[in-house]
Amino acid sequence: MLKADSKTAMELVARDLRRQHMQLDRTCSDMHKTFLYFILLVAEVVLKDFILHHNRNPDLPSFIFYATLSLSMMSNSTENRHVAVFAFPFGTHYRPLLNLVLKLAEASPNCSFSFISTAKSNASNFPKHYIPNNIKPYNINDGIPAGQSVLANHPIGKVNLFLQTGPQNLQKGLQMAQADTKKRVTCIIADAFLPSSFFLAQNLNVPWIAFWPPNSCSLSIYFYIDLIIELAYHAGNSTLDFLPGLSNMRVEDMPQDLLIVGGKETLFSRTLVSLGKVLPQAKALVINFFEELDPPLFIQDMRSKLQSLLYVVPLPSLLLPTSDTDSSGCFPWLDTMKSKSVAYICFGTVVALPPVEAVAVAEALEESGIPFLWSRMEGLVGALPNGFVERTKMRGKIVSWAPQTQVLAHDSVGVFLTNCGANSVIDSVSGGVPMICRPFFGDQGVAGRMIEDVWEIGVVMEGKVFTKNGLLKNLNLILVKEEGKKIRDNALRVKQTVQDAIRPEGKAAQDLNTLVKIISTS
């Protein structure tokens, strides 16, 4: 068995192998490619042995999936291709798009990728190491005037200021990339929340590919927005039974920014409303989720409205640094807990849990006696009941940050208290962990409805608010009661579906191959 201190060395070996495979030139024979593939297989076996004995780094099962895919898609046609990538620099949009571009860069080593976003977003998210030399970041204006940072502290305020910079801001980034690489842009990939990038592609006469990082089924909303607004105005919280495959959705589940009427619209809300008209112009729309988990009627309806609908497996690229640096000591603590006994709590970084709800969560945890790991508590520790931390220290752990993907893959975790953000949902279904949902904004209400009524792998808090008694009831349901067994079993079934989806012969591999062909032949 490998020693624990071998891990870093083995990861470096794997990354070095990846770089070697990316450097194969167009004259490389099939025999050489086969030989390299064999070496990668051996590395995978050794690394899996380490994982098996040390219970770390669950991202590596995707190693062979992308190694095989990259070798199968090596092409001579990408030598002069230049893809401009526009990231939406807010929430959890940035990293899923970067993850996709890293996969494309691995598969198309002769193609240049210019990753364009704000300076702050690039500085905090763009990896510093192990980046292929065919990807480079470029900074554009965030739209916040000097001296007005206080006015932009609200998340939507920042979004509106950024959108006010218009396509001219994106154009500057594109021109910067072209001047630096001395290559004309041959394709544009952009977050779907930046529809103005379509007009840049139109002016350049190049393909426009839209990327969809929110909850996949929220895409349907933007094609039926007029009906939804009309129903919300006249019938209140009605069921949206006209949404194909999503008949359980209700008006209350919709992003509230879409339901603003009467002259109170913002630039952001108008941008969202426009998506149903702009997205059909995309050469392809790429969804960051598992096709196998989406309702077939929803998929069929979207395919009838779009030129091409592709799904990419939302697993981290091997070149993206993993979050398994356990600076908070989560894993030694989790290792001492019983299987499926721990409540993991995290609500992201965009919106904080209201203090009154943090108190309700703390009171429920204390009364229940359930072990808990609570992450990202910035600004809330002072709001907790007096003595809570001391009284629960033998079965509770509060940390400023936790490696969420790996935590949710740990056998001790039995339930996830979440805001239903897209990345958190992906982490949870991949780990087979049931969810207790408290949606805040955006597509999180849609995700909560999918979790509770479609996949049946969790529950949404009544009134979408944490109360002590409401949380006690839901914790007891999922972790203790026999009637919660269906939820627990469904979560494991969904996990197996996700594992099947990442296989080299799966639909996701075919879709990624299709995407590579689009950028390679444009």
For residues 18 and 81, state if they share a domain. Answer: no
Assess if residue 261 is contained within a domain: no
Q: If you average pLDDT over residues 91-95, what whole number do you get?
A: 90
pLDDT, tens digit (0-9, with 9 covering 90-100), for 212-228: 999 999 999 999 999 99
Beta strands in 130-282 (DSSP E): 135-140, 187-191, 208-212
Task: Report the pLDDT averaged over residues 423-445.
Answer: 96
Which domain covers residue 11, as residue numbers? 4-54
Clarify whether residues 113 and 37 are in a common domain.
Answer: no
pLDDT at 25 over 50: no
Burial status of residue 313 (CB atoms within 10 A of its CB: 0-12, 13-18, 19 or more): buried
Question: Does one domain contain both 175 and 311?
Answer: yes
Residue 88 lies in a domain: yes
d(CA 245, CA 255): 18
Q: What is the mean pLDDT of residues 117-139?
A: 91
Q: Which amino acid is at 8?
A: T
- Under a CB-based contact definition with an 8 Å cutoff, are residues 213 and 240 in contact? no
**What percentage of the chain exceeds 70 in pLDDT?**
81
With a pLDDT cut of 90, the percent of the chain lying above it is 67
Please check the confidence at residue 12 and state whether its pLDDT lies above 70: no
What are the tens digits of pLDDT across the range 61-74? 444 444 444 444 44
List, in sequence order, the alpha helices (H) in 182-288: 197-204, 225-235, 267-273, 275-278
Q: What are phi and psi of 111, to 5 degrees?
A: -100, 140
* C-beta neighbour count of 395 within 10 angstroms: 17
Count each helix (H run) and each strand (E run) in the chain, helices first. 21, 13
| Catalytic position from the list 59, 93, 410, 511 | 93
Q: Considering only residues 7 and 456, tell me which one the structure prediction assigns the higher pLDDT.
A: 456
Lookup result for tokens 């002016």: 203
Residue 120 sits in a domain of what CATH number? 3.40.50.2000
Residue 75 contacts residue 516 (beta carbons within 8 Å): yes
Tokens linked to 500: 């099947």
pLDDT at 431 over 90: yes
Would residue 323 count as lying in a domain? no
Do 50 and 192 reside in the same domain of the chain?
Answer: no
> Per-residue confidence at 96, pLDDT binned at 50, 70, 90?
very high
- DSSP codes joined into one string, 381-449: GGGSPTTHHHHTTTTEEEES---HHHHTTSTTEEEEEE---HHHHHHHHHHT--EEE---STTHHHHHH
Residue 312: which pLDDT band, with cuts at 50, 70 and 90? very high
Tokens of 470: 């409401």
What average pLDDT is seen over the chain?
Answer: 85
pLDDT(2) > 90: no
With 60 as the cut, is the pLDDT of residue 36 above it? no
Active site (annotated) includes residue 191: yes
Whether the Cβ atoms of residue 78 and residue 110 lie closer than 8 Å to each other: yes
Indicate the helix (H) or strand (E) that contains 368: helix 355-368
Residue bearing the bigger pLDDT, 22 or 163: 163
**pLDDT of 9 strictly over 50:** no
Both 82 and 201 in one domain: the answer is yes
Which residue type, as a one-letter code, is found at position 162?
A: F
pLDDT confidence bin for 48, thresholds 50/70/90: very low
Tens of pLDDT, residue by residue over 145-171, are 877 765 545 678 889 999 999 899 999
- 358 membership: H or E segment, kind and range: helix 355-368
Q: Is residue 121 part of a domain?
A: yes
Note the pLDDT of residue 324: 53
Task: Specify the pTM.
Answer: 0.84
User: Would you state the pLDDT for residue 319?
Assistant: 60
* Exposed / middle / buried, residue 310 (Cβ in 10 Å: 0-12, 13-18, 19+): buried
Is the pLDDT at 323 greater than 80? The verdict is no
Task: Tell me the average pLDDT across 11-25.
Answer: 48
Same domain? For 353 and 468 the reply is yes
pLDDT at 236: 72
Report whether 21 contacts 40 (CB < 8 A).
Answer: yes
Residue 366 reports pLDDT greater than 60: yes
Q: Confidence class of residue 78 from pLDDT cuts 50, 70 and 90?
A: low
Count up the domains in the chain and report the number. Answer: 3
pLDDT band at 53 (very low <50, low <70, confident <90, very high): very low
For residues 372 and 397, what is the distance between their CA atoms, to the nearest angstrom?
Answer: 6
Three-state secondary-structure class, residue 125:
helix
Query: What number is the average pLDDT over the span 86-105?
Result: 94
Strand order in the sheet with 208-212: 135-140, 112-118, 82-86, 187-191, 208-212, 284-287, 309-311
Q: Domain check: are 439 and 303 in the same one?
A: no
pLDDT reported for residue 153? 53
Whether the pLDDT of residue 14 is over 70: the answer is no
Quickly list DSSP for 34-78. HHHHHHHHHHHHHHHHHHHHH---TTGGGHHHHHHHHHHT--STT
| Predicted local confidence at residue 470, as pLDDT | 98
CA–CA separation, 92 vs 83, rounded Å? 22
403 and 486 share one domain: yes
Check whether residue 307 and residue 338 sit in a common domain: no
Nearest of 493, 460, 465 to residue 478 by alpha carbon? 460
- Residue 334: inside a domain: yes
Residues 48 and 172 in one domain: no
Q: Which of 59, 142, 191, 294 is flagged as catalytic?
A: 191
93 is catalytic: yes
Q: Given this model, what pLDDT does residue 38 score?
A: 40
Mean pLDDT over 448-456 rounds to: 98
Question: Which distant-in-sequence residues (6+ apart) come within 8 Å of 261 by Cβ?
Answer: 229, 233
Whether 488 and 423 map to the same domain: the answer is yes
At 376 the pLDDT is: 78
Our CA dihedral for 272, 274, 275, 281, rounded to 10 degrees, sits at -160
Helix, strand, coil percentages, rounded to 5, for the chain: 50, 10, 35
Beta bridge partners of 187: 83
Residue 455 CB neighbours (<10 A) = 18
DSSP conformation letters of 274-340:
THHHHGGGSSEEEESS-GGGS-HHHHHHHHHHSS-EEE------TTSPPS---TT-HHHHHTTSPTT
Per mean pLDDT, which of 6-20, 264-278, 484-498 is the most reliable? 484-498
pLDDT for 261 equals 63
pLDDT at res. 468? 98
Residue 410 has pLDDT above 80, yes or no: yes
* pLDDT of res. 54: 41
- Both 309 and 365 in a single domain? no
- Across the range 454-460, mean pLDDT stands at 98
- Cα(261)–Cα(379) distance, integer angstroms: 34
pLDDT top residue among 24 and 243: 243
Q: What is the band of 245 on the pLDDT scale with cuts at 50, 70, 90?
A: very high
Query: Which one has a higher pLDDT value, 157 or 426?
Result: 426
Residue 70 located in a structural domain: no
Residue 134 lies in a domain: yes
Mean pLDDT of 363-369: 97
Instruction: Tell me if 493 is assigned to some domain.
Output: yes
Distance between first and last Cα of the chain: 48
